[in-house]
Copies of this chain bind each other. A is one copy, B any other.
């Protein structure tokens, strides 16, 4: 018999400190997927979660992949055929904590510290994604505590390689396609609009990420002996990347804007109503002038327009002092954020054509594809979005807004492509959570309301209310 909502919420509040303590336990495990020395910690973080799920009656396993393992768990729910089947996705791995000297407290010694919104949890992974995983895990725990079961069928998939691009996730999804079937995927790895305004993310930009390796002379040359005659790959790389955008910030790859739709007037109005303060957004990071495409609204630039950003550059001499070298090679990491409608393969073909049109005879450019996922638009009117909107509105006392995200969550595309699942993106992060940076934090208030929101959603879905 399902628990009453009031009892559920009271239980969550009464046991919040235990929830926080469990999160701290998990945060103490430095599950840095990018650093091979932390592979045993990744496994420990997975085992920890498996134990928590088993305690809630899940059939839970740590499953190997070619990299860090996945946690997979199943719960049949109340045993009724009419309850929905949710797939909860998350990740237990975290970004490297470096540079360590910029942390106020050690990254893997979670601390509860005061902030303008009350206590906050500071640790690597506090919000991305361990703390957010805990929002639904503790909601499931509350239901289990009061009703002895959970109100829906649930499958759990928590991977350990999200921060390194999920290289083994797609094969894992392919291999376990039947086992992982569900009605919808629920993911808490996104943000709220602000501390008081819940949000459901319905648009995600995709990502094409490449490394360009440019080669010129057969060996490094002395710039005195060869300068003026020999091709310099560094000069050439600068020219190629410098020409990526025109004076209006539009990207020059042939065919790049094919399929990019203009915002609907409705969507434009909805985003305008959010009152996004671009000056404050940029001001917080020391900037004053938007640098993107001209003639676009602030949120449109971030959520609904594609980009081209150089993410890394290297070549030649980079040590102290002077070395007069014309190097044989130059390298760049380059990425394009894509919006729904753009085809990643077409963008890659456009990049190839752009480079080929500009490469002199003696230069070779190799493009290594490190990621290629399309932008995604989640159906904003589904039963899942309606139920989640209602749960959030009840919890926060104001409507949830439908927002976009400038970033990518490649798993959303994988879940759709491989499992045929739409994702419900209901997250509780804030803009200032310092994701991927020193002093990452998660507001305790967000943890609490996240748990309560998920508990409400579970109750509603279990009651067949949605």
Contact = CB atoms under 8 A, between A and B. Distances in A.
Interface of A: 34, 164-165, 205, 207, 209, 216-232, 234-235, 237-245, 278, 281-282, 285-293, 298, 301-302, 305-318, 321-327, 330-331, 333, 335, 337, 360-362, 370-371, 405-408, 431, 435-437
Interface centre among A244, A293, A362 (most CB of B within 10 A): A362
Nearest to A281: B229
A407 B224 contact: yes
A425 to B, nearest CB: 14
A407 B225 contact: yes
Given A238-B241, A322-B165, A231 B407 contact: no
A323 B232 CA distance: 26
A359 to B, nearest CB: 11
Contacts of A311: 223, 234, 316-317, 322-327
Contacts of A165: 321-322
7 contacts: A224-B406, A225-B406, A227-B337, A234-B241, A238-B240, A314-B318, A322-B333
Contacts of A292: 227-229
Contacts of A312: 234, 315-318, 323, 325, 327
Contacts of A227: 205, 292, 302, 307, 309, 337, 406
A289 B363 CA distance: 10
Given A316-B310, A371-B322, A240 B242 contact: yes
A237 B371 CA distance: 24
Given A219-B437, A222-B436, A228-B301, 15 more contacts: A165-B321, A165-B322, A219-B285, A223-B407, A226-B406, A228-B307, A229-B301, A230-B287, A234-B313, A238-B241, A240-B242, A311-B327, A312-B316, A313-B318, A323-B333
B331 A288 contact: no
A287 B312 CA distance: 27
A34 to B, nearest CB: 8
Nearest to A225: B406
A354 B209 CA distance: 31
Contact of A287 (B302, B314, B362, B436): B362
A151 to B, nearest CB: 34
Contacts of A164: 321
A193 to B, nearest CB: 14
A243 B238 CA distance: 8
B310 A234 contact: yes
A315 B286 CA distance: 18
B407 A362 contact: no
B318 A218 contact: no
A435 B222 contact: yes
Contacts of A301: 228-229
B228 A302 contact: yes
Contacts of A240: 238, 242
Given A229-B301, A323-B333, A313 B238 contact: yes
Nearest to A316: B312
Contact of A230 (B209, B242, B291): B291
Contact of A224 (B305, B313, B325, B408): B408
For the complex of A and B, 4 pairs with smallest distance between CB atoms: A224-B407, A242-B242, A218-B286, A238-B241
Contacts of A325: 311-312
Contacts of A207: 224, 324
Contacts of A238: 237-242, 244, 310, 313
Given A165-B322, A242-B240, A312-B315, A223 B287 contact: no
A216 to B, nearest CB: 7
